Structure 1
Amino acid sequence: MEIAVAFAVVVGAATPASAAPAEPVRITRFLGEQRLPHMMRFEGTTVGGLSGIDRDPATDTWYFVSDDRWRYNPARFYTGRLDFDRETGEFGGVRLTGVTTLTRADGTPYPAYGSPGSADPESMRYDPWAGRLLWGDEGDRPDTRNPAIPVSPSGVRLADIQGHSVGEMGLPSNLRLTDTESGPRRNFGFEGLAVSARAITAVTEGPRFEDGPVPTTERGAPARITVWSRQGSVRGQYVYPIDPLPAAPVPSGGDADSGVSEILPIDGHRYLALERSWIQGVGYRVKLYEFDLRGATNVLARDDLSEGVAYQPVRKRLVYDLGTFRPPVQNLESLAWGPRLASGECTLVMGSDDNFDQSEVTQFLAFGATGCP
């Protein structure tokens, strides 16, 4: 399934497609599932809300960032190990080895939820080219249900492996959170993050106010993909077309939330994306897509995507529908490449955020894949 929303006019497009198409990513087999206990205690912290994972290939250290906003402990990440048998591919275990508090430039932890300057970590990447961590902070802002919440800026933040702040990427003005109906909606800020040898890439979970309404069963919505140089300057911004809701809420008119929960680089222009929906009375639905920036319109200078000159979004192709895989489907928010197997396959790991809810789980699913880096 390839989705490309075509428009009559395309302006400011990215680099044209190569004449030699790359091998698409394909899931070859399921390697196993591992879970962490609900509300597990580790080194004085409560483990849960794991919203981003990544691996340092040189040391085989895994990083797990929690989106706990000091409900239990300050903003933090864990280190650990995922155990794979390189010969058979069997995914045999997960264990934590350490926990680190994320700190601000002044060395203090980020304030708790509901305070100015609080953090909402939703993704984390290890940068092997610079020996640092990058993490996506969704920030916070008021909305009609939470009018007293102050604005806390979102951003892509840089940290050393001790969790100390070492800077942040420049934030495009159209992604600044506000206390009006402009900019990103609440809980629709930076959710997915990718690091490659040439670029840093982040995606908003859903549409800005100016870019149109949230997804429904009849229509999808645009999310913005922002690409920076490794030096921190913004290179471009592109549209990821989120699918319509896969089912209607029960009862009719109930709550639903749908958007991009993570991205992962394949090469210099292709990425994987997790699209995750939560629908009242239905539960979670998740699909894995491959998308390509080539040929997409650079919309960085466009404040409003709902009207005006047409644009070309990124092309995307369905890789795997997890909607019925090992039900009930969990809140999958993490995506990372694991070690390569003796067969030549890559390992692809997906992780779930349990929201500290006893009805959900902290789950890691591992798959064999081809067409990977």
Structure 2
Amino acid sequence: MKNRRTMTRALLAVVMMAGLGTVQAQPAAAAPADGIRITHFLGERDLPHRAQFQGTVVGGLSGIDRDPLTGTWYFISDDRARYNPARYYTGKIDINPLTRRFEGVSITGVTTLLRPDGTPYPGYGQPEAADPEAIRFDPWSRRILWSSEGDRPREGTTGNPVVQMSLRWVDRGGHDRGGLPIPGNLTMTNTTSGPRHNAGFEGLTFTPHGIAAIVEGPRFEDGDIMTTERGALSRITVWDRNGRTRAQYAYPIDRLPAAPVPETGRYDGGVSEILAVDDDRLLSLERFWIEGVGYRVKLYEIDLRGATNVLGRDSLTGGAPYRAVTKRLVHDFNAGGATVQNLESLGWGPRLASGERVLVVGSDDNFDESEITQFLAFAVRDH
């Protein structure tokens, strides 16, 4: 997303909200009461604003991941060549597994992402420009998979050219090694069809046996964007490890958690990241920016089991009934009145001596002086 700006165990039975058209999704089976839960907050560490590293400006970090073999962390920048060409950084997130102390974050390397012809991606507003949003390190192939959100004119305008969203493999030198096939229903257009502007691939994860990616918000055919009265529908696409498209599932995005101030003010949001727990369960980060209110962010555990494969459906607002994925709230980052940053990334850290996993949540500062490149670390258990 380019716009600025107590844990609960409640189960959310997923149904489509009124106002999306005819009610189509049947209630899915309730998500299990047990699952991922946060046990401790391990701390926060920030990076300096617009820090310089090897001739680049560090910021806009919208995706993170960790190589479990070496402990190296990967951070992708969504800088669309405003400062430097599309790139990712490597570095360290130091969390002591014995003391649980979050000791710091540092950048140690930078790599330019290259097109298939070996050249850097062009800048914002140009054909074939990249909009990096998520990054994952594959421990099996030792390659990197990253997402570009794509681009299209805003509805009712003739602005930016159409650029297709993509999922591209690169080696650790940034050289392109091919991409995943993108379903035809996710084709960007300059009409009122396909994904909306700024609502393409935002979340990406490896499951034990596959790959999953989610678009941030609803396609035109899948209904309107969220309001304070109703939510919206996104789509999760799943591939196998050979790159064959296996399925798509409907994901119900929350309704807008607060009205803008003034009421005619702007807002934006949806799913900013996903992270696999296993083949069937994912964590999802829902993030909204609301004018006059700020950021509102929640972490959910979702379950694909029992959800209908909607890959062959052009619309989620008509036709035969179907089941969406189930959701269970894991954490409300705004609980207690906390001020929340533009949280856009999720990554698994090392296991603690207690056996708990470390979950790291990162923010994209939008290269804005009023925002922060922030990393939050939590200890979690899976029950």
Same fold (TM over 0.5): yes
Task: Please give the secondary structure, in 1, of the residue aligned with 2:133.
Answer: strand
In structure 1, the partner of 2:152 is: 141
Q: Deviations along 1:301-354, whole A, 9 cap, x unmatched?
A: 001112222211000000000014683210000000000000111100000000
- Which of 178, 198, 214 aligns to 2:189? It is 178
The CA deviation string for residues 22-72 of structure 1, in whole angstroms up to 9 with x for no partner, is 950000011010000111101100010000000000000000000000000
Report SS of the residue matched to 1:223.
strand
- Partner residue in 1 for 2:6: none
Inter-partner Cα distance in structure 1 for 2:33 and 2:281: 9
Q: Aligned partners of 1:27 and 1:325: how far apart in 2? A: 16
- Partner of residue 235 from structure 1, selected from 243, 246, 267: 246
Mapped contact 1:40–1:46 kept (Cα < 8 A): yes
Structure 2 Cα separation of the partners of residues 108 and 261 of structure 1: 28
Tell me the CA shift for residue 255 of structure 1. 0.7
Partner of 1:273: 284
* Cα RMSD (Å): 2.0
| Residue of 18, 32, 48 corresponding to 1:37 | 48
Aligned to 1:55: 66
- Which whole-Å deviations, capped at 9, do the CAs of 1:209-255 have from their partners, x for residues lacking one? 01001000000000000000111111000011000000000001211
Matched to 1:220, the amino acid is G
Q: Secondary structure at the match of 1:174?
A: helix
Partner of 1:256: 267
Are 2:155 and 2:197, in contact at CA under 8 Å, matched by a contact in 1?
no
Task: Judge conservation of contact 1:129–1:197 (CA < 8 Å) in 2.
Answer: no
Asked if the contact 1:276/1:331 (under 8 Å) is kept, the reply is yes
The residue that corresponds to 1:2 in the other structure is 11
Confirm or deny: 8 A CA contact 1:354 1:361 kept in the other structure: yes
2:202 is matched with 191
5+ residue gaps, structure 2, are 1-9, 17-22
Per-residue CA deviations over 1:156-198 (Å, capped at 9, x if unaligned) read 1111111111011111000010111100001100000011231
8 Å CA contact 2:214–2:235 kept in 1: the answer is yes
* Counterpart Cα distance in 1 of 2:63 and 2:156: 27
Counterpart secondary structure, 1:338: strand
Equivalent-residue separation in structure 2 for 1:262 and 1:281 (angstroms): 24
- 1:17, CA displacement in angstroms? 10
How far apart, CA to CA, are the structure 1 residues paired with 2:356 and 2:78? 31
Question: Are residue 100 (structure 1) and residue 95 (structure 2) matched?
Answer: no
Equivalences for 1:1-373 in 2 at 5 Å?
A: 1-6=10-15, 23-144=34-155, 147-324=158-335, 327-371=338-382
Identity of aligned residues (%): 61
The structure-2 alpha-carbon separation of the partners of 1:90 and 1:106, relative to structure 1 and needing over 3 Å to count, comes to same
Structure 1 pair 91–318 and aligned structure 2 pair: CA distance change class (3 A): same
Partners in 2 of 1:119 and 1:213 — Cα distance? 26
Q: How many Å separate the matches in 2 of 1:322 and 1:117? A: 36
* Mapped partners of 1:321, 1:10: distance in 2: 26
CA contact (8 A) 2:165 2:200 kept: yes
Residue 96 (structure 1) shift: 0.5
Preserved CA contact (<8 Å) 1:17 1:295? no
SS of structure 1 residue aligned to 2:322:
coil
Shift of 1:147: 2.0
CA distance in 2, matches of 1:62, 1:240: 29
| 1:148 Cα offset (Å) | 2.2
Give the number of aligned pairs. 368
SS of the aligned residue for 2:140 comes to coil
TM-score (norm 1): 0.95
Provide the secondary structure at the position in 2 that maps to 1:339.
strand
Distance in 1 (CA, whole Å) between partners of 2:81 and 2:381 is 39
Can you give the 5+ residue segments of structure 1 that lack an aligned partner in the other structure? none
Change (3 A) 1:232 1:17: farther
